[in-house]
Structure 1
Amino acid sequence: MRGPVVVGVDGSPSSLVAVETAARTAERQGVELQLVHAVDWPAGPPKDGAGAWGLRPERDHTGSNGALAEAERRARRAAPRVYVRCEVLMGEPAQVLESESRDAGLTVVGHQPMGTGGHPHRSVAGQLLARGPRPVLVVCGRKEPAGPVVLVGGESTAARQAAEFAFAEAETRWVPLLLLDTRRIWQRRSHSLPTSLLIRLRERHPEVAVRRQVVRGRVRRSLIRLSADAQLVVAGSRGRGGASGPLDAAVLRDMACPVAVVRSGRR
């Protein structure tokens, strides 16, 4: 993983769980943890032509911001050895995180379960999944889940980059990797990782035990079922502004563990 782990902080229980997850991830990867709290612009448009995410950051004001102070305390308790940096930035939360994530190795956000009348694609998590430039980890489901890392296979560029991400996560977590070969009911050929890539990843991560499973039919339903016994589900996304593959915002409310979406062209 290159770059810091960036996590959005808003003081909600969901975001505090995300902070703890992000802190442990940063500690495992040996990178910096960046806590970001977004403050919406006051009424009226920004002055001096400032963008929606703001040009006037106020840094290291944790003493005057209860949400950041509590987030920093949670982060240090979860991962005592991680280096923590705090930022307060002006702007709409999703746009602030999108901007900050451009130099990040991973962006982490919480997920608030929504009722039947809600619009999950309008949430910060949903917006980042749709347009975030870097891998996004959405912390949902049960707290501190155990089990393997589950990877959705495929031959696209996004699927290949998701595979690299998933193997690295499985290695640092010391857990096996379950590789799903997806197949439509009417298709004979499954969509899996190219053999050459799988061999290379196994050579690069020799301690990761890999098991393969063919999934026929509705991939999202299978992922929801498998998430009950997994600690992370990883899939690729087709690209900025496009669909987020099987792990879009609408399916998050039913997932039982955190999910990661890796976008093509992230490097």
Structure 2
Amino acid sequence: MTTVAGAAVVVGVDGSPRSMDAVEVAAAEAMRRRRPLRIVHVLDRRPGAPREASPEVVHERAAACLAEAARMAGKVSSDVAVSTELLSGRPMPALTGLSRHASLVVVGENGAGGLLLGSVANHVASHAACPVLVVRGEPRTGGPVVVGVDGDGDSAGALDFGLEEASLRGTSLVALHAWCGTDSTELTGTCEFWFGEAQEERVLAEALAGAAVRYPEVPVRRQVARGHAGPLLADWSHLAQLMVVGERGHSGIGGALLGSVSRHLILHADCPTTVVRSGVLSGTG
């Protein structure tokens, strides 16, 4: 994956409990990656936007939110350089714009102030120029990193990111490739016909070629499973510390925009999920 030199980990906050969870996860990522942490709060000051208080009160609340987020980040690691920024505009384009100069964007699954609503997480994950980590479920330090592998270029970035994360976290990686064994088509609501488990084993082996050379310290478990990728990956999320998927694919991992699997995990995963779009920038350097 291409490295954005010196790029920060960016996290959006709105004062909700889930956004503060996102700050803790983002601070841990910044510490692992030896990156600065950039905490942002977006105020919607467009004409006609909802106003619950005077501009002065809104600004004071936002400043307090950023100060609390910085305090929480400092508790995670005192070695991470933390900056805060108060922006004006709409949350979705603001965070998407920041992603062009970030190594990772972290958002919560939902929130109270509009910044971290599910639609925002979905939009940013669909359009960001770097990987997007959606904080949901139960953040945990145990368990493997689990990656959905579809055998084409759309999941190559996700696999690279997952291997990198497993190395940084000192844990193992599970590479899951889902396939269907029916002769029905997508028009019937089931999966397309594939050649069989032996063929799918080869697909996964080819996707993982070279992984042991690049990350010899990461134990890799290969799993080829018959069924729909979304539920299979969601089952793994009860044990994993991080799920990683591409934006789309052709073997059960994807569809339009984020694709059915990425959307399924953002809505149902029991641990944080990272979406890696094809060709995005990332890295630890």
TM-score for the superposition, normalised by structure 1: 0.83
Match of 1:161 in 2: 157
Query: Alpha carbons of 1:193 and 1:246: their partners in 2 closer, same or farther (altered >3 Å)?
Result: farther
Match of 2:14 in 1: 10
Match of 1:41 in 2: 45
1:17-43 deviation digits (Å, cap 9, x = unpaired)? 000000000000101111011010242
CA contact under 8 A between 1:160 and 1:193: conserved in structure 2? no
CA contact under 8 A between 2:131 and 2:277: conserved in structure 1? yes
CA contact under 8 A between 2:62 and 2:86: conserved in structure 1? no
**Structure 1 residue runs without a partner (length 5+):** 46-60, 115-119
Q: Separation in 2 of the partners of 1:210 and 1:62?
A: 49
User: Which shows bigger deviation, 61-70 or 215-224?
Assistant: 61-70
Superposed displacement of residue 194, structure 1: 6.0
CA contact under 8 A between 1:235 and 1:246: conserved in structure 2? no
Match of 1:54 in 2: none
User: Which shows bigger deviation, 156-165 or 224-233?
Assistant: 156-165
Q: Separation in 1 of the partners of 2:25 and 2:64?
A: 20
Match of 1:259 in 2: 273
1:203-251 deviation digits (Å, cap 9, x = unpaired)? 1111000001112111111111110000011011139x94323543354
Match of 2:53 in 1: none
Query: Alpha carbons of 1:17 and 1:122: their partners in 2 closer, same or farther (altered >3 Å)?
Result: closer
Match of residue 249, structure 1, among 263, 271, 275: 263
User: Which shows bigger deviation, 9-18 or 125-134?
Assistant: 125-134
Matched, 1:235 2:249: no
Q: Return the index of the structure with the highest Cα Rg.
A: 2
**Structure 2 residue runs without a partner (length 5+):** 50-58, 183-193, 250-254
Matched length? 245
Match of 1:142 in 2: 138
Q: Separation in 2 of the partners of 1:41 and 1:202?
A: 50
Superposed displacement of residue 264, structure 1: 0.8
Matched, 1:87 2:85: yes
Matched, 1:190 2:200: yes
Query: Alpha carbons of 1:90 and 1:113: their partners in 2 closer, same or farther (altered >3 Å)?
Result: closer
Structure scoring higher RCO (CA < 8 A, sep ≥ 6) equals: 2
CA contact under 8 A between 1:247 and 1:259: conserved in structure 2? no
TM-align CA RMSD: 2.6
TM-score for the superposition, normalised by structure 2: 0.78
Q: Separation in 2 of the partners of 1:19 and 1:223?
A: 25
Query: Alpha carbons of 1:251 and 1:200: their partners in 2 closer, same or farther (altered >3 Å)?
Result: closer
Q: Separation in 2 of the partners of 1:121 and 1:23?
A: 21
